[in-house]
Amino acid sequence: MQQNLKVYNSLSGSKEKFQPLNPPYVGMYVCGPTVYSDVHLGNLRSFLSFDIIYRYLMHLGYKVRYVRNITDVGHLENDADEGEDKIAKKAKLENLEPMEIVHRYTQGFHQVTRVFNMQEPSIEPSASGHIIEQIALVSKILEAGLAYEINGSVYFDVLKYNEQAHYGALSGRVLDDLISGTRDLDGQDEKRSPLDFALWKKAAPSHIMRWPSPWSDGFPGWHLECSTMSTKYLGKKFDIHGGGIDLKFPHHECEIAQCVAGYGESPAKYWMHANMLTINGQKMSKSLGNSILPRQLFSGDHQLLDRPYSPMTVRFFMLQTHYRSTLDISNEALTAAAKGYKKLANGLRILKRLQYQENGQTAIDEKINQQIGQFCDNCYHAMNDDFNTAKTIAHLFNILKKINSIHTGSLDISQLSPETFDRMKSVFLDFVENVLGLEEERPGQLDPLLDIVLSSYKEAKSLQDYQKVDDIRDQLKKQGIVLKDMKTGVDWAYEE
């Protein structure tokens, strides 16, 4: 199926056949968090999108080196190279060493990625850990004549760069529009053009995070780290560069400019951008004050939330929309997702216990076999179509219907051929658990105690003690478990 994968490349603005530079190896770099506060759901969606891309590429057999960085220095409060370093500011507010802030929120970020069942990247480099490499790239850009030093700071010369390359290649921004859109430089600004951006900033005397460099004791510009770390670990030219769509300009545009200026090569073959999470139609962001933190979702403790939602519910909710579409969060959608996720989880439980058996009487039903085969193919088609998880989930629900029919007895398992059954099982399990990363939220250790409860339930039923039957049903329901009286006996399921 590898040969059929298409990805939307932001650079060309179209879906392209995915052809890695050195198959079966794939190098993927994704812009990670700036660790000065808790990661909010908007960030999470972006990381989740690339988690899916990583998982599916591996499912297709690619050997992926996935690099996701930690921005722990140099990210100023606005993109105009002014204001304080976000981490240093937070450290000052909380009266801590900046690296304490970094450690706290890096751990918090890791915890969130674990809770949401995201795969670890292969390497997680930090900006502060690559100052030497960043200084080396600044030197290269200076040598190329595409940056200038002033008062100990170094700026990228966008206009000069644009004479020999194309600034705007990724974002489609037009230089003249950008210039007319900026305010005039006042006399205080060191930059030649308002479009220029910092490669190295001289640190004010009070600035804590600083390193020696040929130009000043200072710190690297924000865009620089990604150009440095992506190429250090993936080579000057690699396959995929990803991030949230808000990073497309200026961050990614500047990354390309830096790499072209310093290394003579545009770094990534495919640029991929995850779209925004909106809430009531507005972008979710810390600065707008409408952001929801993962822990608020789990507790339901947020003015915009009616009730708590579990990690897998949120994961499922996000995957119901393609990563390039905006996704609006609402209680209605989350509640529906909770139901949908539990349906899938129940399907997993049922399917794992299903054993194929021929009964020697029932004939194999070609039409049903064909149909199931088509559903399985469709899962691949949807994912191959630029990782369309929304469509994939719809196809999985078609398979689920068959699983449930077998479970309830309305479809006889021996109407399926053994091959169809095996394929259905492996595709459903692989896609739900490995590709979409949806796992059962109940710990398995619940089952032994449940068995005891179930035997009490069965006994009460056989004794026609309906008071007790109802009691047990009610108590289990409080735990999110419903009992089902099947032909084959009593079974339990997650309440959907």
Applying CB under 8 A, the residues found at the interface with a second copy are 65, 97, 99-100, 102-104, 107, 110, 120-126, 128-132, 136, 211-212, 233, 443, 445-446, 448-453, 456, 472, 475-476, 478-479
Quote the longest CA-to-CA distance of the chain.
91
Tokens of 437: 């990363």
Residue 121 or 437: which CB sits closer to a second copy?
A: 121
Parallel/antiparallel/unpaired status of strands 6-9 and 14-17:
antiparallel
d(CA 247, CA 274): 10
DSSP-derived secondary structure for 195-241: T-EEEEEEPPTT-SS-B--SS-SEEE-HHHHHHHHHHHHH-SSEEEE
- What does the angle CA 476 – CA 482 – CA 485 come to, to the nearest 5 degrees? 120
Instruction: Give least dist CB 297 to a second copy, A.
Output: 19
Which residue type occupies 353? R
Q: Measured from the CB atom, is 77 or 97 closer to a second copy?
A: 97
Nearer to a second copy, 122 or 278 (CB): 122
Collapsing DSSP to helix, strand or coil, 396 comes out as helix
Angle between helices 446-462 and 466-478 (to 10 degrees): 160
Name the residue among 87, 83, 106 with its Cα closest to residue 98.
Answer: 87
Instruction: Choose between 220 and 250: whose C-beta lies nearer to a second copy.
Output: 220
Q: Which is nearer to a second copy, 282 or 466 (CB)?
A: 466
Among the residues of 244-330, which ranges form H helices? 253-263, 294-299, 311-319
Determine the residue type at 24: P
Q: How far is the CB of 145 from a second copy (least distance, A)?
A: 22
The answer to whether 137 and 228 are in contact (CB under 8 A) is yes
Q: Which is nearer to a second copy, 119 or 330 (CB)?
A: 119
Of 217 and 358, CB closest to a second copy: 217
The single-letter code of the amino acid at 370 is Q
- Closest approach of Cβ 202 to a second copy, in Å? 16
Taking the least distance from each CB to a second copy, the nearer of 100 and 306 is 100
Q: Which is nearer to a second copy, 158 or 476 (CB)?
A: 476
Cα–Cα nearest to 215, from 270, 271, 148, 311: 148
Using CA atoms, how far apart are residues 46 and 276, in angstroms rounded to an integer? Answer: 8
DSSP string spanning 102-116? HHHHHHHHHHHHHHT
- In the complex, minimum distance from the CB of residue 241 to a second copy, in angstroms, rounded to a whole number: 18
Nearest to 244 by CA among 108, 58, 41: 41
Instruction: Decide if 273 contacts 386 (C-beta within 8 A).
Output: no
CB of 295 to a second copy, least distance (A): 17
